[in-house]
């Protein structure tokens, strides 16, 4: 099965709704909220800054660009009408916040008009990484910032032992990303697009409240069924095992995230 985020407009509406639910759950996770707060603290936006998020999903990160990072105006761009509708429904109360349905590689925005572009867990799903970086460079003012934040999903773990069957499920979920190696190539990709890297940070996410990680396990198990690797009863048993661990207090889940902040030359 191909990465559903890579061409999300072509994905069945029910799948888009399921993805929207997972994005909402992740955004509400206290550890994820804290990670966003920490990397936004490194942006140091000036008063009146205008920010754009490429691939805004259900809009929580775009909202944080105003409420946490201090942007005066923030625009979220997202190709999925289902996700855009969810974003507008949940965040319409925030002054200065807008959502735009469309292709982030062709924003239609004026050149050198934006102070900050954020790509939050976007590039690993993007079939045309260079096009997105090129568009970000085009619309950013000289000295404007890009913040690329993505999971190093190859290192995602739920394992409690070397032969933990739940790790196979999580590995299948991680392999769904169109290109999960992108975060490790940012040191080359960003300078090639006209950016000077200012800082690189690693943020460790541990599922202290595992609601989001349960969606990861459920999706991984369903993918293995779709692959013909597991039967449905086995998939349901693995989902139940994750919940048993949660009830017993033995559940573990972690994802490292890479965040690179760079300035437009």
Half-sphere exposure in the Cβ direction for 89 (13 Å, CA):
10
φ, ψ (nearest 5 deg) of residue 145: -105, 150
CB neighbour list of residue 247: distance below 8 Å, 6 or more residues apart: none
Which segments in the chain show pLDDT lower than 70? none
Q: Please state, in angstroms and rounded to a whole number, the distance separating the CA atoms of residues 204 and 32.
A: 10
pLDDT value of position 209: 83
pLDDT value of position 56: 98
Q: Is 247 exposed, middle or buried (0-12, 13-18, 19+ CB in 10 A)?
A: exposed
CATH architecture, domain 8-152+178-207+254-264: 3-Layer(aba) Sandwich (3.40)
Q: Please state, in angstroms and rounded to a whole number, the distance separating the CA atoms of residues 108 and 21.
A: 29
Torsion-angle region of 93 (φ positive above 0: left; ψ -120 to 50: alpha; else: beta): alpha
pLDDT value of position 93: 94
Between the alpha carbon of residue 228 and those of residues 12, 18, 167, 172, the distances in Å are 21, 22, 18, 13
pLDDT value of position 125: 97
pLDDT value of position 260: 98
Paired strand residues for 220: none
Q: Please state, in angstroms and rounded to a whole number, the distance separating the CA atoms of residues 112 and 98.
A: 19
Contact 241, 164 (CB under 8 A): no
Q: What are the pLDDT digits (tens) for 4-15?
A: 999 999 999 999
pLDDT value of position 1: 72
3-state secondary structure of 65: helix
Find where tokens 């997972």 sit. 22
Contact 189, 133 (CB under 8 A): yes
The Cβ of residue 228 has, within 10 Å, a number of other Cβ atoms equal to 7
DSSP string, 203-232: EEEE-SSTHHHHHHHHHHHHHHHHHTSS-H
Nearest to 263 by CA among 203, 193, 202, 201: 193
pLDDT value of position 127: 95
Contact 67, 42 (CB under 8 A): no
Q: Domain residue spans in the chain? A: 8-152+178-207+254-264
pLDDT value of position 208: 80
């Amino acid at each position: 099965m191909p990465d559903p985020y890579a061409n999300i407009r072509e994905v069945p509406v029910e799948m888009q709704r399921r993805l929207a639910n997972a994005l909402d759950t992740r955004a509400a996770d206290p550890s994820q909220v804290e990670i966003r707060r920490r990397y936004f603290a490194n942006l140091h936006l000036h008063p009146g800054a205008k920010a754009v998020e490429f691939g805004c999903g259900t809009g929580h990160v775009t909202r944080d660009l105003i409420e946490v990072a201090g942007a005066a105006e923030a625009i979220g761009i997202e190709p999925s009408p289902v996700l855009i509708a969810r974003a507008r429904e949940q965040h319409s109360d925030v002054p200065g916040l807008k959502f735009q349905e469309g292709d982030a590689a062709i924003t239609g925005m004026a050149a050198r008009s934006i102070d900050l572009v954020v790509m939050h867990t976007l590039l690993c799903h993007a079939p045309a990484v260079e096009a997105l970086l090129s568009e970000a460079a085009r619309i950013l003012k000289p000295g404007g910032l890009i913040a690329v934040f993505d999971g190093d999903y190859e290192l995602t773990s739920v394992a409690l032992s070397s032969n933990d069957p739940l790790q196979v499920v999580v590995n299948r979920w991680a392999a769904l990303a169109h290109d999960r190696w992108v975060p490790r190539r940012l040191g080359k990709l960003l300078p090639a697009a006209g950016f000077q890297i200012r800082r690189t940070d690693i943020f460790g996410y541990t599922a202290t409240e595992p609601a989001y990680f349960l969606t990861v396990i459920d999706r991984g198990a369903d993918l293995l069924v779709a692959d013909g690797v597991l039967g449905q009863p086995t998939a349901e048993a693995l989902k139940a095992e994750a919940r048993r661990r949660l009830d017993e207090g033995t559940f573990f889940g972690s994802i490292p995230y890479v965040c690179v902040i760079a300035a437009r030359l």
